[in-house]
Structure 1
Amino acid sequence: MTTQHTAIEWTDRTWNPVTGCTKVSPGCDHCYAETIAHRFDGSKAFPNGFDVTLHEERVDQPYRWKKPARVFVNSMSDLFHQDVPDLFITQVFDVMEANKQHTFQVLTKRHARMRSFVQQRESLKREYAAKFDDCPTEAMRNSPAAKWARARAANPPANIWLGVSVENQKWADIRIPALLETPAAVRFLSCEPLLGPVDLKQAVRTMGSERGHGLTASYVHAGGCCRKFHGIDWVIVGGESGHGARAMHPDWVRSLRDQCEQGRVPFFFKQWGEWGPADFQVRVCDPAVGWQGTEQELAAAKADSEARGATHVHTGHWQDKDGERSYWLHEIGHKPWSLERVGLPDGMAPIRRWGKKRAGRELDGRLHDDFPTPAASAAGAQQ
C-alpha cells in the first residue's frame, strides 16, 4: 500500500506518504481506507493500524517513476490532517513540484488547513521572487535564479490539482468556498459518496454572502477568461460501495451532470456503487394477451423479471439529524412483474442493490470520463 497502480477510475496510481485518518463528516462513515488498514493492522504498510502515520521513506518515491502518471496523493489518509506537521506537507509539495512529469491529485476534507497552507506557500514564493528586484546589478536581477523564482511565483504549479470532498449541500457550502480561495492550477470536487443533492451555484453564492458581498471580478475572471463555476475545473461523482453502503438517488447524479454541462465543467462519473437504477416495470407478458406458456416457464419469467427489477424506491423525503440530512429508502411492496400499470410519484426513483460491479458506471446509457484539459488548467491558474 505504498505506491501502486490502482483500480480508481480517475487516477493512474496512488502515493501514500501518510496513512491513517480520523472522521470529520458523514462521508467518512464507511471509510474504505479504514477497513483496509484494520485488515492489515501491524503490517509494514499499516504498522499503527489507522492511526495517522508518517512514512518518510515514501516521500521521494515519485523521483523513481519513469512513466508520467496521474497520482492520487494519500488515498489512505488526508495530507492536511492536524497530526501531519507543516514541514512534512512542505516536503510532499516540494516533491510534487519537482516532478512535473506527473500530475498530482490532492483531495482533502480539511479545506481550511489546505487553504491557509497553500496561500502561505504561494505568498512566500512571491516574496522570494520580489527580493531579486532589489538586487544592486542588472545581472543579478536577470540571473537564472531570478528568472526561476519569478516563473515559480507567477502561477501555482500546473501539475498539482487540489480538491475537496463534497458529500451533500452542507459540506458543499462549507468546503467549496475554501477551495475557491486556494491557489491552484486545477480545483476539483469529489462528490463521493454522494449523500444528497448538491447545487454548485448555491455553494458559490455562499462564498459571496460570507464575505458580505456578491461574487467579485477576481472570482469570475482569471487569465483573461471566465472560469467555470467561478473556479471549479472538474467534478467527480460516485455512489458508496461496500458493507452498509448508502444509496444515491439517480436524480442527484443527473443534476450534477447537467450543472457541469451548462457550466462547461468536465464531469467524471466514477460508479453507482452498491445501489443502481433498475426498471420499475418489468413485463412478463403483454397484459392484453396474457401468459401463453407453461406454468414452469411463467415461474422462470417471473424470477428473471424480479432479478432485473427494482426492490427499493429512493425518495426525496429527508430528515435532519445533528445538522445533516438523511434520505429515505422505501421497499416496494409488490413484485416488479405485478406492477405493469403502476407508476411512481414524483421524486421517487426505483433502485436495486446490484453490487458495485453489476451496477456499473453508465449514466443514462453512457460513460462520463471527462478530465480537465491542459488549456483549462493554464487558464485556471490563479493567485
Structure 2
Amino acid sequence: MSHSDQKLIFQAWNPVTGCSKFSSGCKNCYALPIALKLKQQGNIHYKNGFEISLHQDKLAKPLSWKKPKLIFVNSMSDLFHEKVPLDFIQQIFNIIEQSKQHIFIILTKRAERLFKLSTKLKWHENIALGVTVESKHYLYRLKLLQQIQAQTRFVFFEPLLSLIENIDFAGIHWALVGGESGQNARKMLPEWVTSIKNQCRQANVPFYFHQWGDKRTHDNLIDGKSHLEFPQSWLNILENSPKQIQLSLN
C-alpha cells in the first residue's frame, strides 16, 4: 500500500445525473440540494432537477483529458440505478476502455443490480469498483462485490452509521471511512472508525480516512494523525495529480 500526505483529487464525470433514495445512507444526500440549486441557476444538465437524466454530450469527456486522473464516475448519481439502461452503462464502459491513462472510480449502493449486470460488462483494468456499506445491515453488498471480476475492489464506509465488526476483506483492495457532513449530519463515533481501521490493518488493506463529518467536516485526523492510504498500483496516477479534493459537478 502507499500513503499520501494530502487528500486525493477526484475529477468527477457525470454522464448520468439524478438519483433516488435507496437506503439509510441516503437520508441526507449531498447531491440532491446541489442538483436543485443547479437547476435554479439554469444549468442545462440539471433541468430535470434530481430526476435520472442521461447526458450523451458528456460521454466523450474523459477522452479530452490527456493527463492521468482519478475519475469519479457519476458523483451526482448512481450508475446502477434501475432507471439507467444497460446499453448506456455499456457506452460508459466503452469510453473507459478507450481512456486507459485514467483510473475510473465506480461506486454504488445498488449492489444487487450491479451483480445482475456484471457479466454483461467488460471489467477493464482501469476500473476501481466499490460499494457503500453504511452499517452492518449492508454487509451483503460487500459479498456481492467480492464475486465480480474487477481488478480493484473497494468498500466505502460513508456515512458510517454503526459499528461494523467481523468484516470479510477477502479480495478487497481499499477501504475508505467517513462521517456524514451537512446541517443534519448524523454523528459517527470514534470507536466505529477505530474498529474498521484495526480490521484493515489485520487484513493488510489500505485504509483511507476521509472525514469525521458533522461540524468537523474537514477534520480527517485520528488521534492527531492522518490515514490516507491507497492501492500501490495507483502510485503513478497519484504522483501526476494535484493532492487535493476537486470535484467538477457539471
Q: TM-score range by the shorter chain?
A: 0.7 to 0.9
Which residues in structure 2 correspond to 1:163-178 (within 5 Å)? 163-172=130-139, 174-178=140-144
Alignment size in residue pairs: 228
Which residues in structure 2 correspond to 1:298-337 (within 5 Å)? none
> 1:121: Cα distance to partner?
2.7
Aligned CA distance change for structure 1 residues 183 and 245 (closer, same or farther; 3 Å): same
- 1:223 match: none
Larger radius of gyration: 1
Distance 2:227 2:144 in 1: 27
CA-atom RMSD in angstroms: 1.7
> 1:243: Cα distance to partner?
1.4
* Equivalent position amino acid for 1:367 in 2: S
* Equivalent position amino acid for 2:23 in 1: S
Q: Describe the superposition over 1:235-262 as per-residue Cα deviations: whole angstroms up to 9, x where unpaired.
A: 0000011011000000000000000011
- 1:244 match: 184
Aligned CA distance change for structure 1 residues 56 and 256 (closer, same or farther; 3 Å): same
- 1:356 match: 217
* Alignment counterpart, residue 194 of structure 1, candidates 153, 160, 168: 160
* Equivalent position amino acid for 1:241 in 2: S
* Alignment counterpart, residue 34 of structure 1, candidates 21, 32, 35: 32
Q: Indicate whether 1:365 and 2:221 are aligned.
A: no
Distance 2:204 2:16 in 1: 34
Q: Secondary structure at the match of 2:80?
A: coil
> 1:355: Cα distance to partner?
3.8
Residue pair 1:18, 1:74 contacting (<8 A) in 2 also = yes
- 1:17 match: 15
> 1:97: Cα distance to partner?
1.5
Residue pair 1:11, 1:72 contacting (<8 A) in 2 also = no
Distance 2:110 2:7 in 1: 23
> 1:116: Cα distance to partner?
2.2
Higher RCO (CA-CA < 8 Å; seq separation 6+): 2
Q: Secondary structure at the match of 1:45?
A: helix
Distance 1:170 1:10 in 2: 29
- 1:48 match: 48
Distance 1:57 1:192 in 2: 30
Structure 2: give runs of 5+ residues left out of the alignment: 1-5, 236-250
> 1:375: Cα distance to partner?
8.9
Distance 2:8 2:118 in 1: 24
Q: Describe the superposition over 1:3-51 as per-residue Cα deviations: whole angstroms up to 9, x where unpaired.
A: xxxxx94442100000000011010000000010111225223110000
Q: Secondary structure at the match of 1:116?
A: helix
Normalised by the length of structure 1, the TM-score is: 0.57
Q: Indicate whether 1:261 and 2:201 are aligned.
A: yes
- 2:248 match: none
Aligned CA distance change for structure 1 residues 200 and 68 (closer, same or farther; 3 Å): farther
Distance 1:13 1:193 in 2: 21
> 1:92: Cα distance to partner?
0.3
Q: Secondary structure at the match of 1:230?
A: coil
- 2:106 match: 106
* Equivalent position amino acid for 2:221 in 1: E
* Alignment counterpart, residue 234 of structure 1, candidates 174, 178, 184: 174
Distance 2:104 2:166 in 1: 24
> 1:191: Cα distance to partner?
0.6
Distance 1:10 1:23 in 2: 27
Q: Describe the superposition over 1:322-372 as per-residue Cα deviations: whole angstroms up to 9, x where unpaired.
A: xxxxxxxxxxxxxxxxxxxxxxxxxxxxxxxx4423xx1101111111111
* Equivalent position amino acid for 1:170 in 2: H
* Equivalent position amino acid for 1:373 in 2: Q
- 2:245 match: none
Normalised by the length of structure 2, the TM-score is: 0.87
Q: Secondary structure at the match of 1:356?
A: coil
Aligned CA distance change for structure 1 residues 190 and 10 (closer, same or farther; 3 Å): farther
Percentage of identical aligned residues:
44
* Equivalent position amino acid for 2:93 in 1: F
